[in-house]
Structure 1
Amino acid sequence: MLSSFVRTGLAVVTLGMCHFAASAGEGTLDERPQWSTHFQSNGQPITGTVAIVDTRTTPPAAACFNHERATTRFSPASTFKIPHTLIALDAGVVRDEFEVIEWDGVERSHTPWNQNQTLRSAMRHSTVWVYERIAAKVGIAKEQTYLEKINYGNRTTRGAMPFWIEGDLSISAAEQITFLRKLHTNSLPFSEAHQRLVKDLMIVEAGKEYILRAKSGWNGQLGWWVGWIELPSGTVFFALNIDTPNGMADLPARERITRNILNSLNALPINNR
């Protein structure tokens, strides 16, 4: 689906021994080598990382699998739709979740993209052409200003378009969690109404005692799943990325690995899909 968007360049961020800027201050991600059992497919290891911050404890428990990779920056791919939606709303290029974004009539390989969209459907179906149009309307200079304002990853719009897939923009799993924690508390430099709206668009599923908000991403080589689970006892944030050498066949592993780890932490009902 995104084979034309493959990017080979990766950037590494030096953050020390898994230190990252959490919303409440500096934190340390403790290694969880036992989570390696979840990074398997048909008996073969899957190369990747996951970072978890569990606020059900005081102070929050922060852990990861694969220290080095947890602080390595990669293309955010479609996880960038989270901040990009905030940018679109703040810049006024999209009014709200009800505004119809007209399809350009170009047939694309992913059928749900071949129709009119709203922010809700574009988030659900990860409709790249919608966000390419948003970027064109916002303008690269203003996009750059927003990235610096929210301190997102390496804060660059350089490289090929779309810059969040083929360009040089990159972010680590640890940095994803830092950003998500700010969004969760409406602490980003956007209106509270827009932050609440984006969080609503991120809802994947909900039960009587939990809400799961998340966004996937894929650039052809690397897959993401980032988000958080809201529970009565607190919120658990997660950011996972894996290599996808087998293309789309590897994509289900993003959710499977994350959900299994969250299950092991009693952070998600065991009977979730």
Structure 2
Amino acid sequence: MFKFASRVLLKPLTALLICFAMQTSTALATPVERADWQAVFAKYDAVGTIVVFDQRGNEVKEWVYNTDRAKQRFSPASTYKVPHSLFALDANIVTDELQVFKWDGIERSFAPHNQDQTLRSAMQYSALWVFDIFAKQLGEAKAQQYLTKINYGNADPSIASNGSYWVDGKLAISATEQIKFLQALYQNQLPFKQADQLLVKDLMINETGKDWILHAKTGWQGRYGWWVGWVEWPTGPVFFALNIDTPNRLQDLDKRQAITLDILTSIDASPMSS
């Protein structure tokens, strides 16, 4: 199973990003259902959905597998770190990608979490404890204001018990809504400073090639997992939002990328085949 390289790419990529063509983000009225993609999910013994929005060239295409599930809202889990970073930057809880958050000394199961973090490393390693700091400093009322402002899922940051509201709380978003959020971020159309949106997009970079950049974020709630993002090509972006059940927990996590890459390959949009 492939693994992404971690790179610090802000300055080299800035010029490349500017050179890529910007496309409109008007969604098609009726996405095309791709029943044939069920074979890909079956190949990996997975149940779920994927939405793909292809803005390369002049003809915009939108495809979906499992339309009903694509409209169903789930906890965003760690995909929420993308908008959460924007909230923290806007509220001056974090000033830039270099600000250090001191490790609290609590040993966690994933070793990279057990160290000081920056915004970049917290995104790369999906360090939950850093974002818990953001949530505490923002407070529920301010978080709800931000969520409502960007029309993010049900915009409900409340939680019935201890935990992180984007994992264990009421906050929920659909795959279709994930795509809309990513499109707005891609075009710097969210109600935040352009510099902050550019930084967050850079923090999402997983891998780069000669003529493509892969921006993506995983998420895992325990019962289901996400992989959302886009592949940026010279002719435009290809957005994706995948959500699958994870009954085998950790054993199912690699399926998120594998299914998505197979589907992107089927439409000649996989970065790994370029």
For the criterion TM > 0.5, the same-fold answer is: yes
On the 8 A contact 2:101/2:118 being kept in 1, the answer is yes
- TM-score, normalising length: structure 1: 0.88
Check if 1:229 corresponds to 2:223.
Answer: no
Distance in 1 between the 2:208 and 2:72 partners? 31
Check if 1:119 corresponds to 2:123.
Answer: no
User: In the alignment, what sits opposite 1:216?
Assistant: 218
On the 8 A contact 1:27/1:62 being kept in 2, the answer is no
On the 8 A contact 2:73/2:173 being kept in 1, the answer is yes
User: In the alignment, what sits opposite 1:253?
Assistant: 255
* Matched residues, number: 249
SS at match of 1:72: coil
Distance in 1 between the 2:254 and 2:172 partners? 22
After superposition, where does 1:7-26 map in structure 2 within 5 Å? 23-24=25-26
CA deviation after TM superposition for structure 1 residue 41, in Å: 4.7
Deviations 1:182-213 (A, max 9, x none): 00000000000000000000000000100000
User: In the alignment, what sits opposite 2:193?
Assistant: 191
Distance in 2 between the 1:23 and 1:84 partners? 22
Distance in 2 between the 1:59 and 1:271 partners? 22
Distance in 1 between the 2:176 and 2:27 partners? 13
CA deviation after TM superposition for structure 1 residue 233, in Å: 1.6
Which letter does structure 2 place at the counterpart of 1:206? Answer: T
Distance in 1 between the 2:82 and 2:273 partners? 27
On the 8 A contact 2:140/2:158 being kept in 1, the answer is no
Identity %: 52
Match of 2:184 among 182, 185, 197: 182
After superposition, where does 1:1-273 map in structure 2 within 5 Å? 23-24=25-26, 27-41=29-43, 45-159=45-159, 160=161, 161-271=163-273
**Two-structure CA RMSD over aligned residues (Å):** 1.4
In structure 1, runs of 5+ residues without a counterpart are: 1-21
SS at match of 1:157: coil
Distance in 1 between the 2:38 and 2:174 partners? 19
Distance in 1 between the 2:138 and 2:107 partners? 25
Deviations 1:129-150 (A, max 9, x none): 0000110011111001000000
SS at match of 1:39: helix
CA deviation after TM superposition for structure 1 residue 234, in Å: 1.3
In structure 2, runs of 5+ residues without a counterpart are: 1-23
Which letter does structure 2 place at the counterpart of 1:216? Answer: T
| Shift in alpha-carbon separation, 1:270–1:115, aligned structure 2, 3 A | closer
Deviations 1:62-95 (A, max 9, x none): 1110010011000000000000000000000011
CA deviation after TM superposition for structure 1 residue 28, in Å: 2.4
On the 8 A contact 2:265/2:273 being kept in 1, the answer is no
Which letter does structure 1 place at the counterpart of 2:73? Answer: R
On the 8 A contact 2:28/2:62 being kept in 1, the answer is no
